[in-house]
C-alpha cells in the first residue's frame, strides 16, 4: 500500500498490489515426464532463475496442461516482480484461457493492476470490470477501479465503487479513509469527517485518519478541532513532517502565527525537501511583517518545486511589501505563465504596474482579473481609480458601481464613486455616496473633504464648512 503518511495529498486510495498470490503457485509433478529440478526453481524466490525454469516447463511438450498453466501463472508473477509488465500481462492473458470462476476473476484483477501500473487506464478499467462480472464480491477490484476513476476526476463512480467495497468489508478502517478523502476532495467535509471518524473508531492508533479528519475540520473552518486532531496525529506518529505542517496551518488560521512558525520549522527539519512547508512558513513570516524571511522561504520552495504558482505569487506580494516592484512583477508574470487562471497574480501584477507608472498595462491586468474572476471587487476598484485618473469618470462610476453591487459595505468604493460623480458635477448623487461612505467609516477624512467640495459647489456654505473642519480634525488625529 502507498505510504499515505508521507505526504498531504488531496486524497489517498489504498491500492491492492499483487492480490493474485502472496506466494507463487506450486507446480506439481508432471504426468508425462519432465524435469523436477525446473519445477523446484519455478517455485523459487529468485525471479530471474524462476522465469528461466518456468519457461522450460512451458516449452516442454511432455508437461500436461495444468503444469504448463501453473508455470505461466508463476512466470507472470515473476515478470511482474522484476517490472517487466508487458511479459507479465502476456502470461496472465494466456492463463485466462484456462481459468474459470473466482480464479479467473483474480487474474483479471491482477491484469488490471498491471495495466494501471503501466498507465493504461482504459485496459485497467476493462480488466477490473471483467473481474467484477465474474465475482461481484471482489472488494479489491472495486477499490482499485475507484482509484482509476479518481485519476479521471470521476468522483461519482469512485464513490459508488468505494461504497460497494465498504459494504463488502465494513470493518476495514483504511476504506473509510479512502472514501473520506474523496468526499473531502469533492468539498463534502461533513461526510468526510464521518468516514474518518469511523476509521478512527475501528483503529484509534492510525495517525493518518486523525490527520485527514483534522484536514477536513480545517476546510470547514473549525480550527479548534483541526488543531486537536493534528496534535493527536503527531502524538501517535511524531516523525511525520506533514502532520506538523497540518498543525501549523490550523494554528495560523486561528491567528497564532508564532506557534505556527514553530510547527513549520519542525516540518522542514523532518523533511527539508517539502516545498509546501517552506511556502507555508514563508506565508507566516510575511503575515508577521518579516518580508525578507518570507522571500527566502518562497525562494526555497521554488527551488524545490519550480512549478509552484503560489510561491511565485506570494513572493511577489512580499516584494510588493518592500516596494520592490521590479522583482514583484516578474514573479507575478511567472505565476501567470504557469497558471493563466490565477486571478490573484493578475490583480497583484496590475497593482505593481500601477505603482510603477504603467497605467495601460495595469488596466489590462485588471481587465484580465475580471475576466478570470468576475466578482473580483478590488479589480473593479483599482481599474476605476485608473480610469478616473485618466479623466474617464463615467467608466470609473461604472466600475465602482460593480464593486458596490458586489459589496454594498465597501466604503472605499462608495467614496470613489462619489468623487467621480463630483467630477461629473452630479453633486446630489456625489453627496449621497460620500454620506454612505462616512456612515460606514466615520473616520474617513477624504470622504468629509470631498463632501465639503460638493456642498460648496451647491452653495451650501455651512455644510461645506462643517465637513471641512471635520476633515481637518481627522487629518490631525491621524498624524
Using alpha carbons, list the distances in angstroms from residue 79 to 43, 76, 379: 13, 5, 59
56-109 pLDDT per residue, tens? 999 888 888 888 888 998 999 999 989 999 999 999 999 998 888 898 999 999
pTM of structure: 0.78
Is the separation of the CB atoms in 223 and 203 below 8 Å?
A: no
* pLDDT tens, residue by residue, 329-374: 999 999 999 999 999 999 999 999 999 999 999 999 999 999 999 9
d(CA 243, CA 264): 10
Cα(258)–Cα(245) distance, rounded to whole angstroms?
A: 14
CA distance 266 to 269: 5
Q: What is the largest CA-CA distance in the chain?
A: 120
Closest CA to 148 of 110, 121, 130, 109: 121
Q: Which domains does the chain have, with CATH numbers?
A: 1-170 (1.25.40.10)
SS3 452: helix
Q: What is the pLDDT of residues 226-241, one digit of tens each?
A: 999 999 999 999 999 9
CA distance linking residue 380 with residue 378, whole number of Å: 5
Report the alpha-carbon distance of residue 173 to residue 212 in Å, rounded: 13
- What span, in angstroms and rounded, lies between the C-alpha atoms of 219 and 7? 17
Separation CA 380–CA 352 (nearest Å): 16
How confident is the model at residue 14, as a pLDDT? 27
User: C-alpha grid cell for residue 341?
Assistant: 487562471
Contact between 2 and 12 (Cβ < 8 Å): yes
Give the DSSP H/E element, type plus range, for residue 67: helix 65-81
Q: What Å distances lie between residue 263 and 143, 153, 252, 257, CA to CA?
A: 34, 33, 10, 10
Planar angle of CA 309, 314, 320, nearest 5 degrees: 135
pLDDT beyond 70 at 213: yes
Spatial CB neighbours of 118, under 8 Å, sequence gap ≥ 6: 85, 89
CA dist., res. 470 & res. 479, Å (int): 15
Helix, strand and coil percent figures for the chain, each rounded to 5: 75, 0, 25
CB-based burial label for 150 (10 Å; 0-12, 13-18, 19+)? buried
Give the mean pLDDT of the chain. Answer: 90
d(CA 28, CA 416): 89
- Grid coordinates of 386: 485608473
Q: Which pLDDT band, with edges at 50, 70 and 90, does 37 fall under?
A: low
Report residue 7's pLDDT band, with 50, 70 and 90 as the boundaries. very low
Amino acid at each position: 500500500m502507498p505510504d499515505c503518511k508521507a505526504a498531504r495529498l488531496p486524497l489517498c486510495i489504498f491500492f491492492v498490489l499483487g492480490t493474485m498470490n502472496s506466494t507463487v503457485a506450486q507446480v506439481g509433478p508432471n504426468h508425462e515426464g519432465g524435469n523436477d529440478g525446473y519445477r523446484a526453481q519455478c517455485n523459487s524466490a529468485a525471479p530471474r532463475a524462476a522465469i528461466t525454469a518456468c519457461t522450460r516447463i512451458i516449452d516442454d511438450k511432455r508437461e500436461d496442461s495444468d503444469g504448463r498453466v501453473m508455470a505461466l501463472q508463476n512466470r507472470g508473477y515473476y515478470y511482474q516482480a522484476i517490472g517487466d509488465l508487458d511479459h507479465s500481462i502476456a502470461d496472465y492473458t494466456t492463463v485466462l484461457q484456462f481459468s474459470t470462476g473466482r480464479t479467473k476473476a483474480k487474474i483479471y484483477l491482477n491484469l488490471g493492476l498491471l495495466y494501471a501500473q503501466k498507465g493504461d487506464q482504459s485496459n485497467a478499467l476493462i480488466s477490473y470490470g471483467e473481474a467484477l462480472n465474474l465475482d461481484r464480491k471482489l472488494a479489491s477490484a472495486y477499490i482499485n477501479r475507484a482509484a482509476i476513476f479518481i485519476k479521471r476526476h470521476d468522483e461519482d463512480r469512485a464513490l459508488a465503487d468505494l461504497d460497494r467495497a465498504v459494504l463488502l468489508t465494513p470493518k476495514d478502517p483504511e476504506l473509510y479513509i479512502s472514501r473520506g478523502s474523496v468526499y473531502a476532495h469533492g468539498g463534502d467535509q461533513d461526510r468526510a469527517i464521518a468516514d474518518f471518524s469511523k476509521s478512527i473508531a475501528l483503529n484509534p492508533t492510525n495517525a493518518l485518519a486523525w490527520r485527514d479528519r483534522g484536514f477536513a475540520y480545517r476546510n470547514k473552518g473549525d480550527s479548534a478541532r483541526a488543531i486537536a486532531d493534528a496534535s493527536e496525529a503527531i502524538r501517535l506518529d511524531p516523525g511525520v513532517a506533514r502532520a506538523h505542517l497540518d498543525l501549523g496551518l490550523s494554528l495560523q488560521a486561528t491567528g497564532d502565527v508564532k506557534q505556527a512558525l514553530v510547527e513549520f520549522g519542525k516540518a522542514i527539519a523532518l523533511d527539508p525537501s517539502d516545498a509546501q512547508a517552506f511556502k507555508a512558513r514563508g506565508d507566516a513570516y510575511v503575515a508577521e511583517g518579516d518580508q525578507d524571511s518570507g522571500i527566502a522561504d518562497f525562494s526555497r520552495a521554488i527551488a524545490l518545486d519550480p512549478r509552484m504558482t503560489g510561491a511565485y505569487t506570494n513572493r511577489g506580494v512580499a516584494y510588493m511589501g518592500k516596494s520592490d516592484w521590479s522583482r514583484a512583477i516578474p514573479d507575478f508574470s511567472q505565476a501567470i505563465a504557469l497558471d493563466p487562471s490565477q486571478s490573484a497574480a493578475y490583480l497583484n501584477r496590475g497593482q505593481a504596474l500601477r505603482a510603477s507608472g504603467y497605467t495601460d498595462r495595469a488596466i489590462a491586468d485588471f481587465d484580465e482579473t475580471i475576466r478570470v474572476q468576475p466578482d473580483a471587487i478590488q479589480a473593479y476598484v483599482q481599474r476605476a481609480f485608473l480610469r478616473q485618473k485618466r479623466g474617464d469618470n463615467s467608466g470609473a462610476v461604472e466600475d465602482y458601481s460593480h464593486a458596490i453591487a458586489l459589496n454594498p459595505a465597501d466604503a472605499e468604493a462608495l467614496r470613489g464613486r462619489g468623487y467621480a460623480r463630483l467630477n461629473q458635477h452630479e453633486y446630489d448623487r456625489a453627496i449621497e455616496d460620500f454620506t454612505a461612505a462616512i456612515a460606514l467609516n466615520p473616520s474617513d477624512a477624504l470622504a468629509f473633504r470631498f463632501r465639503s467640495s460638493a456642498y460648496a459647489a451647491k452653495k451650501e456654505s455651512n455644510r461645506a464648512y462643517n465637513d471641512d473642519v471635520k476633515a481637518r480634525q481627522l487629518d490631525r488625529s491621524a498624524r
